[in-house]
Each structure stands twice: as structure tokens, then as C-alpha cells.
Structure 1
Amino acid sequence: MIEENLKLARQALKELIEEGKRVNVSALEKRAELSNGTLNYSHPLYETFKEKICELKRAECLPSSKDIYRLRGKLNHEIALKEKYRVERDKLKEDISYFLH
């Protein structure tokens, strides 16, 4: 029975990952059509499976080097835009003060 439940949970895990959905114990139980709390029973196989889920969740939370490179590029672009707009703002302030005095 436990092995069968784990087989269903593994299949559900695979499907959730392929669909790009968030993975948690409740979602796995629901997708695998297991009773609510099935994977929380105190059994070494369930505990090992839940540890693997936690590892996956930690790994997906950590950004990859590709993500970091992309975000760093976006940040640099935004910094450059901000500086450009500051220069334009200061020039416009200068022009306005010139015409007002």
C-alpha cells in the first residue's frame, strides 16, 4: 500500500514539475488522488520522499547563474536609464530657470 502511494505521488510530482506548477505535499496528494495527509504518516519511505521534495523546493528557489546574469543585466540597464533621466531632468530644470530669470 505504501509503495503504491509513493508510486502515485512520484508520478504526480513528475506531472507537476513538467507543468511548471508549485510542488508541495498537499498538491501531490491531491494530484495523486491520495487522502489528505497520507504523505504525513510516520513511515521512513514517506519521510524520505518528503525530504526529496524539500530538496527540490530549495533547489528551485535558488537562482541559476543564467538567472543572475539576466537580472544583473536588467539592473544595469535600469541604472543607466535612471542616470539618463536624471541628466535630462537637470537640463530641463536649467532651461526652465534660464527662461524664468
Structure 2
Amino acid sequence: VGNPTLPALHGGAVAGFMEQAAIIFILLQMGEPKVPKTIDFTIDYLRAGLFRDTYAECSVTRLGRRIANVRISAWQKNRQEPITIARAHFLLSDDGSTD
């Protein structure tokens, strides 16, 4: 809990939850056991995340051989009212090949 007076979830905990959700989603999409590395992660906090169940939905914008771009949305009571949205880029392969 980041703000005990509301009580609201800590923003870093929400961001970590969303990043891990995206990594697991990519792993399921790729079907390979290699964990992708985060290149960048940008999050927009839209409303307070209260101390209750929180859900995430991921969608791949682009899944290439080396890079994946993912959109993540987190909500609590209503999927149409997200508490945060995020965009992330992940490195899938760092073998240095250009083909």
C-alpha cells in the first residue's frame, strides 16, 4: 500500500505487476522458455488503484524476431475504467544476427 489514507496501491507495485504480466504474455505468445529483456516501459497512471483485486490485459502491437511491442491495461472493478495503461518494448533475441 503506497498511500495508507486511501488506501491506494503503490505505483511501483502496479508498474511491476504490469511489466511481469507483459513478460508472461510474450512468453506464452512465443512458446519459447527464454525470458525477454525489458528495453523500455512507459506507464500512464489514470486513477488511484485502490487496495483490491487488480487485473491486467496485454496485447501485442508487434512481435518480431528481436523486438516485441506490448500494450498493457490494468483495471479493478470495470475494464472500461483502467487505473493505468502502459507501453513496453522487449528484446527477444540478443544474438546479434541481422538476417
TM-score by length of 1: 0.31
Q: Say which structure is richer in strand.
A: 2
TM-score by length of 2: 0.32
Q: Say which structure is richer in helix.
A: 1
